[in-house]
């Protein structure tokens, strides 16, 4: 029994990848539940406390925490998609990245408008991710060419 036989080795690596993905998915699920309970508890406490000023940093904090949980949901979808199809779906990865950049833009601290490099960098990131997502969707919509059909049928005519 040779462990480093190609097929046995690849089966071992594939099995390890799947177990690690399952473990990470469970850990992420626990973290998401705890974060959701904390967020809901904090919002209920803040609503019951009449001195809470939602216009200040509180609303930005709630939005940031909510978007963090949504990003975690998207990462969990990436993991479960990998376990179902055994491939990483690039669309999900790009959507997760766009949500993360959007979160960064939404929760920018006061005074960030004085940092043009930061704003330009975030703008470039948003444009690059949107362009990549558009390209991936466009490629998926294009039907693949048949291997039997010629690429240029007018060149293959018999005289």
* Domain spans of the chain, in order of start: 6-142
13-46 pLDDT tens trace: 889 999 999 999 999 999 999 999 999 998 888 8
Distance separating alpha carbons of residues 103 and 71, to the nearest angstrom: 9
CA–CA dist 53, 56 (Å, integer)? 6
User: What secondary structure does DSSP assign to 118-157, as a single string?
Assistant: HHHHHHHHHHHHHHHHHHHHHHHHSPPPPSSS-SSGGGS-
pTM: 0.73
């Amino acid at each position: 029994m040779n462990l480093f036989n190609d097929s046995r080795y690849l089966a071992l690596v594939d099995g390890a990848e799947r177990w690690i993905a399952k473990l990470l998915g469970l850990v992420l699920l626990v973290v998401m539940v705890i974060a959701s309970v904390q967020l809901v508890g904090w919002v209920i406490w803040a609503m019951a406390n009449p001195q809470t000023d939602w216009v200040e940093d509180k609303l930005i904090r709630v939005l940031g925490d909510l978007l963090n949980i949504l990003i975690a949901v998207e990462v969990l979808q990436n993991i479960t998609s990998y376990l179902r199809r055994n491939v990483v779906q690039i669309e999900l990865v790009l959507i997760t990245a766009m949500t993360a950049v959007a979160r960064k833009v939404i929760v920018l601290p006061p005074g960030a408008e004085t940092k043009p490099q930061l704003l330009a960098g975030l703008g470039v990131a948003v444009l690059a991710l949107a362009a990549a997502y558009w390209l991936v969707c466009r490629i998926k919509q294009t039907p693949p060419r048949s291997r039997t059909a010629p690429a240029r049928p007018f060149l293959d005519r018999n005289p």
